[in-house]
Structure 1
Amino acid sequence: MGFPGYVESVRDAVAERLDAPASVFEGRVRTWGAVLDRAARIAGGLRAMGVAPGDRVAVLSSNSDDYLTLYLAIPWAGAVLAPLNNRWTAVENAFAIDDCEPRILFVSDDLAKANANVLAERADRLTLVMLGEASDGAISIDDLLTHAPADDAGRGGDDLLAIFYTGGTTGRSKGVMLSHAGFVGNCRTMRDVGLFPAGCRALVVAPLFHLAAAAAMTMAMLAGGTAVIARGFDPVGTLDLIAGEDVTDALLVPTMIQMLLDAPGFDAAKLSSVRTVMYGASPMPEATLDRIMAAAPHLEYYQAYGMTEVSCTATLLAPEYHRGEHRAAGRHRGAGMPIATTELMIANDEGRPVAPGEIGEILVRGPCVMLGYWNQPELTAETLRGGWMHTGDGGRVDEHGVLYVADRLKDMIVSGGENIYSAEVESALSQHADVAQVAVIAVPDDRWGERVHAVIVAQPGATLTEDALVAHCRGLIAGYKCPRSIEFRSILPMSAAGKIVKAELRAKYWEGHSRNVA
């Protein structure tokens, strides 16, 4: 096997800390001994239900301490974890379920109700395990806890650990396959530079279907620390949780940081226990960075650049680049330098390196790179061609080796830390009978960093309203993907090749703005 697996890595890290707190959730504290026992028993229950090595087991829930336990229990049984997006519509989750074909779905009561028809239609091939109390004879997680503890299945190295679903540029979601070695190795390498040190108390407030949140939680586990888990993000509640639980380390997207600063009665003293903030996933407005650094000057700030396909992080911008001469030189706007296990290349269209300072596509190579896309071999081959992960992002590297992300070649919108692909939104809008043409772009937004903006040409004689189009989209895609603003035009700018010129549509919105992509 070589590289130890997820379960073995965590068990080794906490072996001397079994009486120490592993998680805090809504006032409930579980020790590491209790968490490992629960994980082993749930794994035993999964095996009793017929789950075999390599079978997929999905989770559809908001954050909880049980979610943390499932990150251990599912690979403990030898299965593959598939976290599902609890913000997706039933249609979107139906696609993911049909794609990865899980044997078991752990689901919370509220999401079971919201997806009732989808789950009922798949009852012949999908067994539900309710998180919390179950009714009407349904299986609950407590039923699995009655089983004897199972031995660790011992999976590791290049074995498949998890499938994380991300958006698709053609409207189809992609299941990113991550290995034990890739994900655990990436988390260990981030810890090596000072993130989530031994015994930390780590805030887990971003949703655990997101790889970044999973990485923050995993780093806390590898530190033998405590995951302070919030069901979801609420600015006032998060500040109170940080202060009440003496949080030392946190992963926050820039929108969350801004909302904390804008929270009613914001008191910087509530951040006094925090030592380190890791941020990324969306552009950090200069004003927001200035405000948080002024409010909490004692904090160390790390910016991360990466994506699901590289097991989370490719580069880190260290704290010293946020201050002093580096700040004066503008290097705080960079995305950092490659972590120790990652190799970076800025390439031209032929895949050859460009000169320093020139913009090209960001390519990544190393053990962190995904195994591929589930059930999409052609896309896998295209994305991993030449042994490099082709990110689809444009960037440059300066004379200090700092990466700057210049633009998104895949035309992705990052709003409030969520990745949204314009093609997926365009596909939804174009299904409205009165839409003749549509282009979706990112425009700057004071709160969300970027917002989804749609430019529409209506069918002749049709009358369209913004409210009607948004309502139409909400039946097809998640609410956060729907347009937040819409404009109507009689024509769209077209190239000689017949393609919509989005650069022309963007120009008036981005004049005077820096599109610093994090």
Structure 2
Amino acid sequence: MLVPFGARDFLDRAVTVYGRRVGVVDEPDQPAQPWPDLTYARLGETARAQAAGLDALGVGHGERVAIVSHNSARLLASFFGVSGYGRVLVPVNFRLSPEEVSYIVEHSGSEVLLIDPELEEKLSGVTAKQKFVLGAESDAELYRFDAEPTPWEPDENATATVNYTSGTTARPKGVQITHRNIWVNAVTFALHAGVTDRDVYLHTLPMFHANGWGMPFGMTGLGVQQVVLRKIDGPEILRRVEQHGVTVMCAAPAVVNAVLDAVRDWDGEVPGRDRVRVICAGAPPPTKTIQRVEEELGWEFIQIYGLTETSPLLTINRSRVEWDDLPPEDRAGKLVRAGAPALGVTLKLSDSGEVLARSNVILAGYWERPQESAGALAGGWFHTGDGGVIDDEGYLTISDRKKDVIITGGENVSSIQVEDCLFGHPAVAEVAVIGVPDEKWGEAIKALVVLAEGRTATEAELIKHCKERLASYKAPTSVEFRDQLARTATGKLQKFKLRAPYWEGHERQVD
């Protein structure tokens, strides 16, 4: 018997088994009227109502619905109300500039655009066939509780979401994640993380980012209570852990650092000690940080590695019984590796040291970019663009980044896009943008600039130029002026030479 996987399977199980349990606790402090606590039965009704609402708006199966939102119950429900009923959800990074959001909405062909109220003014010029600001007023149009949605026969190979990611080109690429990708990622991730219905999950990770790493699906399917956190704040994370009995969360290294900073001023026992598991990815934190998580917080540290293109789980590194008797520093040294392949994942290194992967979690392709899709999937392997080594225990360590992508605070930034922006300044003749080590953000963005003859510009002026044209997190945090930049005989920038002085003494060339 072959039964197609579908994203709604997770919600259907939650409704059947945990219908009376409170499944979603919305963010109380938000510009839209928060939803009351949702039981899983009510979440199921809400998803059906959203699907019926899309029917009424004339949005057919396979058509795209874009949403630009901070974490919220409305965004969480949309994974099921949109994707679960045969449409394609396009979760957009709310930090992007209006121009970037416009490109994504237009390129994806989204029929409907849903916007968080906090972004209404900023995104006023972004248009779509039908546009709504999320809140009580739009709820009346978007959710039809008095109607049954048009049935959709699940197709596991159909695109469920299109997630735009910064890559090696100035324009973001739309990663097509299928229902099968979602299903396999959610199940294997939950298995490796040891998730049960006794857990409580805190959404510290932005849900737009690789579909919240698949957690909205896996946690729902296992009946886990999900607590929505709108904005990252170290003390607030500790308060939510204490208030709701949180046991698991996902986070970029910057979030981990925010909690470690907050705990210094926390009065009393650290919430969640010997109970919380924090799953970290984006860029490996220093060994010292891992040791502090386990000693100062008393939380279990789990490392993963993956990309938006891989749904995202490729590897997982969780402490093993063989490491229990190791000194804390040595155990942290084990955990700093990207990890061993997740169930169903096969890894190998190319002749040049690039990490290649095969798995059922790997994207179907890039939306309307067949040439780039073919390149990424050449030879039946996904080309990650990351360089690495695999040790004799089968554990992967990322050692260098082959693509020109900088990961800062867990967000991918295309260095080419930032360079293109700086080239738009009349005083810039040459520019190279690189990632340099940063204790808080993993990597910081540095611009190396050669000024045009007879022109002048200050560091502050060039940073401001970028912030006015790009999402602020993509702007350089520092600018160095050079007389020339290292290039090959054919004129190609030698970024490895430009990066080298800043990474001296670091084992990895990404932090």
Q: TM-score normalised by the shorter chain: which range applies?
A: over 0.9
| CA apart distance, 1:237 | 1.2
Aligned to 2:342: 339
After superposition, give the CA deviation of every residue in 1:286-319 in whole Å (9 maximum; x if it has no partner).
221121111133x332211000111111010122
What's the TM-score, normalizing by structure 1?
Answer: 0.92
Task: Indicate conservation of the 8 Å contact 1:283/1:515, yes or no.
Answer: no
Aligned to 2:228: 229
| CA apart distance, 1:177 | 0.1
| CA apart distance, 1:325 | 4.6
Task: Summarize the Cα distance change of 1:516–1:505 in structure 2 as closer, same or farther, 3 Å threshold.
Answer: closer
More off after superposition, 364-373 vs 76-85: 76-85
What SS is found at the alignment partner of 1:170?
coil
Task: Indicate conservation of the 8 Å contact 1:305/1:315, yes or no.
Answer: yes
Task: Indicate conservation of the 8 Å contact 2:112/2:131, yes or no.
Answer: yes
What SS is found at the alignment partner of 2:448?
strand
What SS is found at the alignment partner of 1:271?
coil
Task: Indicate conservation of the 8 Å contact 2:284/2:338, yes or no.
Answer: no
Aligned counterparts of 1:214 and 1:283: Cα–Cα separation in 2: 16
Aligned to 1:6: 7
Aligned counterparts of 1:419 and 1:20: Cα–Cα separation in 2: 36
Aligned to 2:121: 113
Q: State how 1:18-37 maps to structure 2 within 5 Å.
A: 18-27=19-28, 28-37=36-45
After superposition, give the CA deviation of every residue in 1:245-266 in whole Å (9 maximum; x if it has no partner).
1101111111111111112613
Aligned counterparts of 2:101 and 2:75: Cα–Cα separation in 1: 18
Aligned to 1:191: 190
Task: Summarize the Cα distance change of 1:516–1:467 in structure 2 as closer, same or farther, 3 Å threshold.
Answer: closer
Extract unaligned runs of 5+ from structure 1.
135-139, 350-359
| CA apart distance, 1:26 | 3.2
State percent identity of aligned pairs. 33
Task: Indicate conservation of the 8 Å contact 2:27/2:227, yes or no.
Answer: no
Aligned counterparts of 2:460 and 2:194: Cα–Cα separation in 1: 44
Aligned to 1:137: none
Indicate whether 1:319 and 2:312 are aligned: no
Aligned counterparts of 1:258 and 1:440: Cα–Cα separation in 2: 25
Task: Indicate conservation of the 8 Å contact 2:14/2:40, yes or no.
Answer: no
Aligned counterparts of 1:152 and 1:449: Cα–Cα separation in 2: 46
Task: Indicate conservation of the 8 Å contact 1:160/1:177, yes or no.
Answer: yes
Task: Summarize the Cα distance change of 1:465–1:516 in structure 2 as closer, same or farther, 3 Å threshold.
Answer: closer
More off after superposition, 203-212 vs 258-267: 258-267
Indicate whether 1:79 and 2:78 are aligned: no
What SS is found at the alignment partner of 2:445?
strand
Aligned counterparts of 1:281 and 1:99: Cα–Cα separation in 2: 26
Task: Indicate conservation of the 8 Å contact 2:188/2:342, yes or no.
Answer: yes
Task: Summarize the Cα distance change of 1:111–1:180 in structure 2 as closer, same or farther, 3 Å threshold.
Answer: same
Task: Summarize the Cα distance change of 1:458–1:423 in structure 2 as closer, same or farther, 3 Å threshold.
Answer: same
Aligned counterparts of 1:143 and 1:248: Cα–Cα separation in 2: 36
Aligned counterparts of 1:418 and 1:21: Cα–Cα separation in 2: 31
Aligned counterparts of 1:499 and 1:322: Cα–Cα separation in 2: 46
Aligned counterparts of 2:55 and 2:274: Cα–Cα separation in 1: 42
What SS is found at the alignment partner of 1:164?
strand
Aligned counterparts of 1:79 and 1:231: Cα–Cα separation in 2: 25
What SS is found at the alignment partner of 2:82?
helix
Task: Indicate conservation of the 8 Å contact 1:396/1:404, yes or no.
Answer: yes
Letter in 1 for 2:126: V
Task: Indicate conservation of the 8 Å contact 1:247/1:273, yes or no.
Answer: no
Aligned to 2:309: 309
Task: Summarize the Cα distance change of 1:210–1:152 in structure 2 as closer, same or farther, 3 Å threshold.
Answer: farther
Aligned to 1:208: 207
Letter in 2 for 1:276: R
| CA apart distance, 1:433 | 1.1
Letter in 2 for 1:482: A
Task: Indicate conservation of the 8 Å contact 1:58/1:83, yes or no.
Answer: yes
Aligned counterparts of 1:309 and 1:406: Cα–Cα separation in 2: 20
Aligned to 1:501: 494
Letter in 1 for 2:242: A
What's the TM-score, normalizing by structure 2?
Answer: 0.93
More off after superposition, 172-181 vs 70-79: 70-79
More off after superposition, 47-56 vs 267-276: 267-276
Task: Indicate conservation of the 8 Å contact 2:185/2:313, yes or no.
Answer: yes
After superposition, give the CA deviation of every residue in 1:100-157 in whole Å (9 maximum; x if it has no partner).
01111121222222111222xx4xxx201331034xxxxx122233441325523241
Indicate whether 1:269 and 2:270 are aligned: yes
Aligned to 1:62: 70
Task: Summarize the Cα distance change of 1:446–1:375 in structure 2 as closer, same or farther, 3 Å threshold.
Answer: same
| CA apart distance, 1:470 | 1.2
After superposition, give the CA deviation of every residue in 1:6-63 in whole Å (9 maximum; x if it has no partner).
1123212441210101111235411111111111011101011111110001111111
Aligned to 2:31: none
Q: State how 1:122-161 maps to structure 2 within 5 Å.
A: 122=128, 126-134=129-137, 140-146=138-144, 147-150=146-149, 152-161=151-160
Aligned counterparts of 2:416 and 2:447: Cα–Cα separation in 1: 11
Letter in 2 for 1:462: R
Task: Indicate conservation of the 8 Å contact 2:213/2:311, yes or no.
Answer: no
Aligned to 1:365: 358
Indicate whether 1:328 and 2:330 are aligned: yes
Aligned counterparts of 1:259 and 1:309: Cα–Cα separation in 2: 28
Aligned counterparts of 1:322 and 1:509: Cα–Cα separation in 2: 33
Task: Indicate conservation of the 8 Å contact 2:401/2:509, yes or no.
Answer: no
Aligned counterparts of 1:212 and 1:48: Cα–Cα separation in 2: 26
Q: State how 1:345-424 maps to structure 2 within 5 Å.
A: 345-349=348-352, 360-424=353-417
What SS is found at the alignment partner of 1:15?
helix
What SS is found at the alignment partner of 1:113?
coil
Aligned counterparts of 2:48 and 2:337: Cα–Cα separation in 1: 43
Aligned to 1:99: 107
Aligned counterparts of 1:503 and 1:324: Cα–Cα separation in 2: 39
| CA apart distance, 1:96 | 0.2
Aligned to 2:294: 293
What SS is found at the alignment partner of 1:379?
helix
Aligned counterparts of 2:488 and 2:419: Cα–Cα separation in 1: 18
Aligned counterparts of 1:235 and 1:257: Cα–Cα separation in 2: 8
Aligned to 1:446: 439
What SS is found at the alignment partner of 1:441?
strand
Task: Summarize the Cα distance change of 1:184–1:504 in structure 2 as closer, same or farther, 3 Å threshold.
Answer: same
